[in-house]
């Protein structure tokens, strides 16, 4: 994922992120990419708290396809990248990576669904769609 439109988030590996071998525990990559997605939508001007309060809309993870390629270790400085892959009526698919000095350690494709207060799929609001969509050249 070497797209210039990708959002980047720096993450440092702390002791609490590691297992007994000193490498990042596999489930913590999911936490890293969650932070990456949250900061991506924030950087694009989407206020998820206001969206929930005003329209009763939230985004939930429906599917994660993850590949663990190389271990990250205590003290590593990582970068989480997030890029929109596709958007449907009620779903968003993003590609995410965790990098160390440009080396890909982890990659995932995450499918999110837009949900209403009652837990049913809801159309992504037009203003959110406009903010998440890359500009057409």
Q: List residues with catalytic annotation.
A: 19
Helix (H) or strand (E) holding 128, with range, is: helix 126-132
Residue pair 3/96 in contact (Cβ under 8 Å)? The answer is no
Could you list the beta-strand ranges (E) of 1-137. 7-12, 58-68, 77-87, 91-100, 103-115
CA distance 116 to 130: 19
Which alpha helices (DSSP H) does 44-81 contain, by range? 48-55
Burial of 101 by CB count in 10 Å (0-12 exposed, 13-18 middle, 19+ buried)?
A: exposed
CA distance 133 to 45: 12
């Amino acid at each position: 994922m070497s797209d210039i439109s990708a959002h980047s988030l720096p993450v440092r590996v702390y002791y609490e992120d590691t297992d007994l071998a000193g490498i990042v525990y596999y489930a913590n990559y999911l936490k890293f990419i969650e932070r990456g997605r949250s900061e991506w939508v924030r950087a694009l001007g989407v206020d998820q708290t206001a969206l929930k309060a005003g329209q009763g809309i939230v985004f939930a993870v429906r599917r994660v396809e993850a590949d663990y390629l190389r271990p990250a270790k205590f003290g590593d400085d990582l970068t989480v990248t997030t890029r929109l892959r596709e958007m449907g009526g009620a779903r968003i698919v993003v590609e995410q990576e965790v990098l160390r000095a440009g080396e890909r350690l982890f990659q995932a494709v995450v499918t999110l669904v837009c949900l209403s207060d009652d837990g049913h799929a809801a159309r992504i609001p037009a203003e959110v769609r406009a903010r998440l969509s890359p500009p057409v050249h």
